[in-house]
Chain A
Amino acid sequence: MTKMEPKSEVEESNRMWASASFVGVLIVIGLPLWWKTTEVYRVALPYDKINTFTTLSHAVTTELTVVANDDATADQIVDNIKKEFEESDVIKLNIKKFILPDGLRRTLDSVADDQEAVEEVAGAYDLKKHNTFYVVQRSQLYQDVWLSRERLAFFKDATASRTLVEVLRQWVYQTSVLEGGRLEKPDVARQTRFPPGEEYHVVLSVVHPKPDALAVEFHAEDAVEDYIGSFVDELSELHNFTLKSQWLYLLDFDFQAKEVKDTSEWGRHFAVRQERLQLMLTRLEERAAPQVSSRPTVNLALYLLPCHQAPLLIYDNNDKPIKSPVQAFMSPKWGGVVMYSPSAADCRAAEPTSSPDVRLIMGTFLAQLRTLLGIADTPSIEGAAAAALRSVRARRWELDALLRLRTLEQLAAAHAALASLAQLLGEISNIVINDEVGASINSAVKSIEAAEELLSKDLLAAYRLSLRAHIDAETAFMEPSLLALLYFPDDQKYAIYIPLFLPIMFPVILSLKNLLLWFRGKAVHKEKTE
């Protein structure tokens, strides 16, 4: 027996070492190797930074200068404005106050025309700077507050402070629209305007369903270049625009209009129901080829009604005609349609010829374009008036408002895209993040940080950075390489793993128990012998 003991011990230790080497090959080397080779490639991402961004913390700092005739008025106005905007978390006002110099005051009081007064103020103060606004007292005013086309508003006296605050809140700073820009759920204005972008294509399609029955004198190219061109030139700091025009002939749309007798020159009009018009967009999309543009396209369509369908009136849901000089409608994030009826005299001629009123048509398109590009409408305020849009240009303070709105919206959108991507990455382990996507995520994060810092200093630079961030975040989110492994199904993976791993790993894992016991026993044994 004494001879047998060491032999069986040697055998046992051989067995145990064999068992240990199985464990070593399969678990110590094999498992990490398998883990490493089947790993989904992901670049390290700044998750902590992405998660610490909060959309609601973004606020724009803007400069407001109050210029009054005397110190008391200035103080009262400033106090009122401060009180109103204290609680706003989208806009922070940096208010300065000045007393109007005597010379300028006298000029302002003597000048009758408001526009001339604006020019006088422009001579004394710099109205060209972005993200600034001037409130100047002018006693010779018909209303309480008058808002010019420049970055300037006049107020009558201290009693007008209530109206002035309203004008600032609703017209100049548009706090409710700004707040809507950064919310997760889009408000009405955001549902209507185009999503932020670097460049837009504006395409005017002139639809002429009956070229043989009606000759039309309309120059689409010049109309686009003259009217829309000078409008979008003003917006060139925000977006690039490419203007295009095309003619679409013989595109018939069945309005299903009802003939109604009336007392007009025609003695009739055609009533088309509002909900029918939506179908027209599909018909237009077929031929207008918006999909070939490499950028988002704002579609403007001028539908030249043939004589036998003219004049056409749009009826609302209550079966009442919509009173307007131009029959037009707009489709959110798509564009606008103007339906132009030739006059009765044009159609009665031997060779019907119509020359549409370019100013009227293009004016309608511009109004639609303003909304589609994000320039908010101004609700009416009692005692306040805004200078009319005389030319096609946008008002200066509208541009500033748009700049603030787009900056906040782009920051919010970029942040939302990154946050959802981070969340998706957490939920779906199969998503690949290659170096390119990683780089654009990192650059988006950096741009967001830089833009946030610049929000209080340089709005234009902040806008550009936020646009960069938005584009980077969107490209990262939309990158098709993310989906490279998404459709590798789990059941197939297990179909391969189970026949191999189950029969092999079972005995190996079960042998672990014996192995551990043996090692522990050996250690105890060693201690005993010592």
Chain B
Amino acid sequence: MSIYRLFWIIFISAYSVVRSDDFKEEMYIKPLPPSHLYTYFQFITIVNHKSTEHSHLSPRSLGEVISRFKVDELHLTLTEGQWRHHQWGYPVLDAAPGAELYAWFATDVDDIDTQWRKLTSTLSGLFCASLNFIDNFNTVIPQMALWPTGAVKPIQNITSQLRYASLPREIVCTENLTPWKKLLPCESSRGFSALLNSRMIHNTKYHSIGVHVRKICANKDCTDTHLEIKQTVALVYDYKIINSMDWSFRKLFGQGLPGACTLSSASTIYVDVTTNSSHSFKLTPSPHRILQSQRGASETEFAVYDIHNNGEMINIGAKYDSKYSNNMTVIIPPPIYFNRYVLGYGKEFGGIVTELVNNYMTAIDVVLLENAPWWLPIQLSSLRVNGEANNKLVIAQYFSPGRNRQKPYHLELLIKLPPRSTTTVTIDFEFVFLKWQEYPPDANHGFYIGSALITANLPTAKQYSSLPISGSTFDSIINASKPWYPAVFRTNGAMVSLPTPDFSMPYNVICLACTVVALAFGPLHNICTKELILKPVGTPVSLTQKLMNLLKRKKD
């Protein structure tokens, strides 16, 4: 019995440790005048204990994937639509259209490529997405563009453990949202996730769901790490779709908020009310408190709601002052924005153009990552920055040529964007003939080129709403002034149409060729092997010949 008593003592002391798995839910609403509304959800689970076999609030399925493939940090986003940086400013987390996945593996993983393929296939099953199409031929290892956001040992060679892939063709829908919701401890029955009604959220101009796993420091000296699993949803509503400028939970999500999730230690809603000065609106019910934040030179004001689980239905909404509703708005573009398009005509050559606009008064260094699939070979010799081959703006460059069916083309440029200027990066590509089995279904639809990645350390926090790298909840944004603000953006994707054959052609060719060969063969064989013999008159006529003669006579 003494063993059991000891066990009980261990049990009681261990109880407090294990139960401290922490779950928080947060929501951030920001009007994007004149015509859009940005809502961003984040669900944060912090796993405090080391053993991945036993899970409490964190999803076991994800924990198992992370531990089986020894992933240090993982970012997966599934996005439909295009974020317009020029109009909307910067999102909390940017995402490429379609599916995007990148991960850092632990340093003791030897064969990263195999692990990466296994990871993508497993995640594909977990999220019902076509991530299993990620293979070596569409995976790149970014050298400068991506850095881990979690805690890593400083001596570690980070880039060699990283793999990045995007599937721009992926269409994101309900079947991805349902498994995503199952990872939440409250699933979709309680808390903020109850708002994520697939009927309403797929009716938006932009929607993106994501899972971000990283290690965060457990204490100040970072001697120990915790696992942070962050699930995010970003939505951009168009006022035209909801038919008015006045928004409310009921209009946006089809229902009110049924209180906080029982298991969350904090459920908070932040509404960005900075635009209230130009577009006056009134929030109902009134916020619990107002937070002022000064980040760099930009000031932001948040209305904060602390949501509790008391069974009340909450319907937060904003009503715009009608006399201001027709105000003209001047869109102030963010410090950096960009545009990307495809050049060329015909089916032989083309080019990709990326325009980077620096709107700020000082020069900004950015890393541009172009990732072209193997069927779109780009040549470094055709790289032009502002029309010049050796432009002084390029500080460093990395190019890894692709190989047919094995490796994509990968170009990274570190460029210094001069103040108040537009920099144009052009690179030419050739069109390639694919094997007929390599064409996707509906090949005439065109082929997607993935987004380019743009990494910048912004000198100003204007229009910047990302969390600081050390923060995991939204309140870390308050007064988080830093010398620079790291950001990774994705440009818009593009589409090209490759030379596409008529797919019934091979069969037609086979049939036609066979028929021609057969037609030619008959006479040839006859001439070679048969003899013409004159028939003397009066020889007996066979039955078939009699029939033939009868027919001939009738014709005459």
Query: Could you name 14 residue pairs across A and B whose Cβ atoms are closer than 8 Å?
Result: A16-B529, A22-B529, A219-B15, A222-B7, A222-B11, A243-B53, A250-B187, A251-B187, A289-B61, A292-B64, A496-B510, A503-B518, A503-B519, A503-B522
B530's contact among A15, A211, A224, by CB below 8 Å, is which? A15
Does A504 make an interface contact (CB < 8 A)? yes
- Interface core residue of B11, B54, B515 (most chain A CB under 10 Å): B54
Q: How large is the interface on B (under 10, 10 to 19, 20 to 34, 35 or more residues)?
A: 35 or more
Contact B60 A246 (CB under 8 A): yes
The DSSP consensus for interface residues of chain A is helix
Residue in A closest to B188 when the chains form the complex, CB atoms: A250
A219's contact among B14, B53, B122, B262, by CB below 8 Å, is which? B14
Residue in B closest to A217 when the chains form the complex, CB atoms: B15
Chain B residue numbers with a CB within 8 Å of A507 are 521-522, 525-526, 529
A499's contact among B14, B122, B514, by CB below 8 Å, is which? B514
Chain A residue numbers with a CB within 8 Å of B522 are 503, 507
Contact B15 A12 (CB under 8 A): no
Contact A249 B186 (CB under 8 A): yes
Q: Which of B67-103 contact A (CB under 8 A)?
A: 68
Task: From known contacts A219-B11, A245-B53, infer whether A212 and B262 are also in contact, taking CB-CB under 8 Å.
Answer: yes
Cα-based distance from A511 to B524 in the complex (angstroms)? 13
Residue in A closest to B527 when the chains form the complex, CB atoms: A18
A287's contact among B14, B68, B187, B525, by CB below 8 Å, is which? B187
Task: From known contacts A243-B53, A496-B510, infer whether A294 and B529 are also in contact, taking CB-CB under 8 Å.
Answer: no
Cα-based distance from A22 to B527 in the complex (angstroms)? 12
- Interface core residue of A242, A245, A502, A508 (most chain B CB under 10 Å): A245
Residue in B closest to A291 when the chains form the complex, CB atoms: B125
B57 CB to closest chain A CB, in angstroms? 7
Q: Which of A45-79 contact B (CB under 8 A)?
A: none
Does B56 make an interface contact (CB < 8 A)? yes
Contact A219 B18 (CB under 8 A): yes
A497 CB to closest chain B CB, in angstroms? 9
Residues in chain B within 8 A of chain A (CB atoms): 7, 10-11, 14-15, 18, 51, 53-57, 59-61, 64-65, 68, 122, 125-126, 182, 185-187, 189-190, 262-263, 309, 510-511, 514-515, 517-519, 521-522, 525-526, 528-531
Q: How large is the interface on A (under 10, 10 to 19, 20 to 34, 35 or more residues)?
A: 35 or more
Q: 20 more A-B contacts (CB under 8 A) besides A224-B54, A226-B7, A287-B182? A: A22-B529, A212-B262, A219-B15, A221-B51, A221-B54, A222-B10, A243-B53, A245-B53, A250-B185, A250-B190, A250-B262, A251-B187, A289-B59, A292-B122, A293-B64, A294-B68, A499-B511, A503-B521, A504-B521, A511-B529
Residue in A closest to B4 when the chains form the complex, CB atoms: A359
Chain B residue numbers with a CB within 8 Å of A233 are none
Contact A211 B514 (CB under 8 A): no
A371 CB to closest chain B CB, in angstroms? 24
A422 CB to closest chain B CB, in angstroms? 31
B69 CB to closest chain A CB, in angstroms? 11
Contact B55 A246 (CB under 8 A): yes
Cα-based distance from A508 to B57 in the complex (angstroms)? 78
Does A495 make an interface contact (CB < 8 A)? yes
Task: From known contacts A217-B15, A222-B7, A291-B125, infer whether A500 and B518 are also in contact, taking CB-CB under 8 Å.
Answer: yes
Chain A residue numbers with a CB within 8 Å of B189 are 250, 252
Contact B531 A247 (CB under 8 A): no
A166 CB to closest chain B CB, in angstroms? 37
Chain B residue numbers with a CB within 8 Å of A287 are 182, 187
Chain B residue numbers with a CB within 8 Å of A291 are 125
Does A370 make an interface contact (CB < 8 A)? no
- Interface core residue of A18, A245, A246 (most chain B CB under 10 Å): A246
Does A220 make an interface contact (CB < 8 A)? yes
Q: Which of A489-505 contact B (CB under 8 A)?
A: 495-496, 499-500, 502-504
Does A244 make an interface contact (CB < 8 A)? yes
Cα-based distance from A212 to B55 in the complex (angstroms)? 19
Task: From known contacts A289-B60, A499-B518, infer whether A211 and B528 are also in contact, taking CB-CB under 8 Å.
Answer: no
Chain B residue numbers with a CB within 8 Å of A514 are 529
User: Across chains A and B, which 10 residue pairs bring their CB atoms closest together, nearest first?
Assistant: A503-B518, A289-B61, A500-B514, A221-B54, A18-B528, A19-B529, A246-B60, A212-B262, A499-B514, A292-B61
Q: Which of A93-110 contact B (CB under 8 A)?
A: none
Does A286 make an interface contact (CB < 8 A)? yes
Cα-based distance from A243 to B125 in the complex (angstroms)? 23
Chain B residue numbers with a CB within 8 Å of A243 are 53
Q: Which of A3-31 contact B (CB under 8 A)?
A: 11-12, 15-16, 18-19, 22
Residue in A closest to B18 when the chains form the complex, CB atoms: A221
Task: From known contacts A222-B10, A249-B186, A292-B126, infer whether A244 and B53 are also in contact, taking CB-CB under 8 Å.
Answer: yes
Cα-based distance from A289 to B14 in the complex (angstroms)? 26
Q: Which of A242-286 contact B (CB under 8 A)?
A: 242-247, 249-252, 286
Chain B residue numbers with a CB within 8 Å of A18 are 528-529
Cα-based distance from A351 to B511 in the complex (angstroms)? 82
Chain A residue numbers with a CB within 8 Å of B521 are 503-504, 507
Contact B529 A242 (CB under 8 A): no
Chain A residue numbers with a CB within 8 Å of B528 are 15, 18-19, 22
Contact A11 B187 (CB under 8 A): no
B522 CB to closest chain A CB, in angstroms? 6
B511's contact among A224, A226, A286, A495, by CB below 8 Å, is which? A495
A58 CB to closest chain B CB, in angstroms? 37
A237 CB to closest chain B CB, in angstroms? 22
Contact B55 A496 (CB under 8 A): no
A508's contact among B10, B54, B525, by CB below 8 Å, is which? B525
Chain B residue numbers with a CB within 8 Å of A12 are 531
Residue in B closest to A251 when the chains form the complex, CB atoms: B187
A7 CB to closest chain B CB, in angstroms? 12
Chain B residue numbers with a CB within 8 Å of A496 are 510-511, 514
Chain B residue numbers with a CB within 8 Å of A203 are 60
